Amino acid sequence: MELTLDDLGVTLSRRRVLDGISVILRPGRVTAILGPNGAGKSTLLRTAAALIAPATGTVRLGDRNVATLDPRERARRIGYLPQNAGVHWNIATSEVVALGRLPHRAPFAAPGQHDLDAVTRAMAATETAHLADRPVNELSGGERARVLLARVLAGEPDWLLADEPLAGLDPRHQFDILDRLQEVARQGRGVAIVLHDLLHAGRVADDVLLLKEGRVLTSGEAAAVMTPDNLRAAFGVEVSVQRNTGGGLVCTPIGRALATA
């Protein structure tokens, strides 16, 4: 099911933070949301998850406005992983992941077999099964980040919106988490990820939404968007863009641009 942002404008504290955002995010693909600090990436993701009400325009899942979905249905359909998420209760890690199943369960009902299986799969995918009994606030930052991703994965949403899911992860877990997110997309679900690392973005993204100053600089298939010119215009840096043998993009920042658009 497509996630459509239609003429989206967002105002926060009387500042226009997003303006005229129109883009269709496609399921079955990984969309990387890129742009410099303050471009509006997190705001866009939060608005797509209906956590911020837009001042103009709509977010639609298929043909339904996400603002009008019942909150439980919305939580089943759209999984959102915030930037620098924390956990306020010091409960066991497996219980944190199980929270991802709450929108699927009747109030006060015990988890069913499918709920338990989804939690097990999510913990295996994020390599957190060995942490199941540990109090979540005793985990390292990177371990906790993987647990919180597991919570979103356990919810098996149609769309998974992740805001900088690599923050705090060591290099191998960065690759692993992106591979898991790619697998989610290959299952036909939608995945949109805010990323700062251009190398990872080039490797994993099918589509790219490039933001600058609250507007879409350009969007579309990764190879069309991640060009040296577009990346210079967005970030003010020179980026080498090569193809690897598998056809994927290898985007390597090489220095500050002498002149920016």
Interface residues with ligand ATP (CB under 6 A) are: 12-13, 15, 17, 35, 37-43
Pair 251, 198: CB distance under 8 Å: yes
HEC string of 112-154? CHHHHHHHHHHHHHCCCHHHCCCEHHHCCHHHHHHHHHHHHHH
> Least distance (Å) from ligand ATP to the CB of residue 43?
3
For the four alpha carbons of 162, 163, 169 and 171, in that order, the dihedral sign comes to: positive
Q: Which is nearer to ligand ATP, 156 or 163 (CB)?
A: 163
> Least distance (Å) from ligand ATP to the CB of residue 42?
3
Nearest to 178 by CA among 39, 31, 38, 26: 31
Helix (H, G, I), strand (E, B) or coil at 202: helix
Q: Which is nearer to ligand ATP, 37 or 245 (CB)?
A: 37
Q: Which is nearer to ligand ATP, 15 or 172 (CB)?
A: 15
Q: What is the DSSP letter of 57?
A: E
> Least distance (Å) from ligand ATP to the CB of residue 233?
16
> Least distance (Å) from ligand ATP to the CB of residue 86?
16
Tokens 């980026």 identify what position?
A: 239
> Least distance (Å) from ligand ATP to the CB of residue 166?
13
Q: Which is nearer to ligand ATP, 14 or 172 (CB)?
A: 14
Q: Which is nearer to ligand ATP, 104 or 200 (CB)?
A: 200
Strand pairing class (237-243; 3-12): unpaired
